[in-house]
Amino acid sequence: MSKGTVFITGATGFLGSIFLLEALKKGYSAHVVVRSQSKGEIVKDFVASHGFSNEPAEGKPHCAYFIVPDLTLPGALDEAVRGTDCILHCASPLPFADLPADRQQAEMIDPAIACTLNMLESVRTAGGATVKRVVVLASLIAFANADVMGPTWVPAEGQEIYPNEDTLNDYISPPFPNLLIAYCAAKTAALRSSLDWMSSKQAEGTPSASTWLTWRRPTSNSMLLAPVVGRASDPQGPLCVGGAVHVDDLTEICLESLDPAGKVRTPASGPDRGVANFCISVDVVWNDAKRSVAAKWPAHVESGLLPNQGDFPTKPRIRFASRKTEETFGIKLKGLEEMVETIVPQTIPP
């Protein structure tokens, strides 16, 4: 039975491709936005390799593709949004290079805001008759300032830091001294601007309810793998916040959130009308991965295939509360051991 059609951005990325595949498995068809024909072909091959159609198929999940080179242009997403039932917005421009202070707002912050607001405007104007749920992936860095997430600052003895749904950063203005703060500013601005948009449009009667999911995962799994593939002679890694989420949990939560009749209920009134916000992360100690690896793959450790000697220290006294997420979705978020079981085998040659 068809579950309707989901509009999805970011399907060429790590998470977006997983979300797309799992949505198809659950019975959704998809309107997939890509930035170029070549990227579209990559997604088509990926979809076809898992047995799903890239052509309309009566009663069966399938994908339709929309080439949108610039997601920040007003109206660029109208055609792709039209006729869909729900939205899964994963795409976001990221600052990958330091820029002079006089270019930071225009090239780092404004595109991040426009990418999300243009999607919301397309939902309002082109998808208002059909779209009933919007799910936007943000980043936990919008709730934990750059000092908390950066490599040097540590809470004082006796001080506990709890990033959560209620600790959204204020807007951060340029100049930005480094890329981490620029990234924090961009994610904060995009989320705050979209929440402001929702507040104003809900007051005007916009029908869609939105769910914002903020999350933390190891960048390309490098944080989890650093102590596993590292050697004793390697330099110590930077202090890093110990928070992550298993991709299976994040996927389950995202897809469940798409269903307006599902587990996520948004307030019917008040300043948060139509909005539910979840910070999804579990506490981890990165060097504990070595203990799991030594127990599960002792022969690989002994042979040196998994050196298991790296040092990637975790910042102390920074904790993540998962209670709201677990109670809402009825799940127990997987911990570091399950992440190790998923990620480490991918590094072992067959």
Average pLDDT in the 268-277 region?
A: 83
Nearest of 315, 284, 298, 293 to residue 229 by alpha carbon: 293
pLDDT of 49: 97
**209: pLDDT strictly greater than 70:** no
Instruction: Report the mean per-residue pLDDT for the chain.
Output: 88
**76: pLDDT strictly greater than 50:** yes
Do 35 and 69 form a contact (C-beta atoms < 8 A)? yes
Q: Range with the lowest mean pLDDT among 9-23, 41-55, 223-237? A: 223-237
Integer Cα distance of 258 and 87 in angstroms = 7
**85: pLDDT strictly greater than 50:** yes
Q: What is the band of 127 on the pLDDT scale with cuts at 50, 70, 90? A: confident
Integer Cα distance of 7 and 19 in angstroms = 11
Average pLDDT in the 180-209 region?
A: 79
Q: What is the band of 147 on the pLDDT scale with cuts at 50, 70, 90? A: confident
Q: CA dist 186 to 94, 140, 284, 286, Å?
A: 8, 12, 26, 27
Integer Cα distance of 277 and 280 in angstroms = 10
Instruction: Please report, for the chain, the start and end positions of each structural domain, with discontinuous segments joined by +.
Output: 5-219+241-286+318-339
**24: pLDDT strictly greater than 70:** yes
Integer Cα distance of 114 and 104 in angstroms = 15
Integer Cα distance of 307 and 329 in angstroms = 38
Q: CA dist 167 to 140, 141, 158, 281, Å?
A: 10, 10, 19, 14
Total residues belonging to the chain: 350
- What would the CATH number be for the domain defined by 5-219+241-286+318-339? 3.40.50.720
**207: pLDDT strictly greater than 50:** no
pLDDT of 96: 65
Integer Cα distance of 186 and 110 in angstroms = 8
Q: Which of 149-158, 194-203, 323-332 has the highest mean pLDDT?
A: 323-332
Q: Any idea of the CA torsion for 183, 186, 187, 192, to the nearest 10 degrees?
A: 150
Q: Range with the lowest mean pLDDT among 27-41, 113-127, 213-227, 333-347? A: 213-227
Integer Cα distance of 118 and 173 in angstroms = 22
Integer Cα distance of 30 and 8 in angstroms = 7
Do 87 and 60 form a contact (C-beta atoms < 8 A)? no
Token code pair at residue 306: 């998994």
On the 0-12 / 13-18 / 19+ scale of CB atoms within 10 A, 332 is: exposed
Q: Any idea of the CA torsion for 46, 50, 56, 62, to the nearest 10 degrees?
A: -90
Average pLDDT in the 335-341 region?
A: 95
> pTM of the entire structure?
0.91
Q: Are strands 63-67 and 282-283 parallel, antiparallel or unpaired?
A: unpaired
pLDDT of 4: 94
Q: What is the band of 216 on the pLDDT scale with cuts at 50, 70, 90? A: very low
Express each pLDDT in 92-110 by its tens digit.
776 667 788 888 899 889 9
Q: Which amino acid is at 106?
A: A
Average pLDDT in the 250-259 region?
A: 94
**339: pLDDT strictly greater than 70:** yes
Beta strands in 153-309 (DSSP E): 209-215, 243-244, 275-280, 282-283
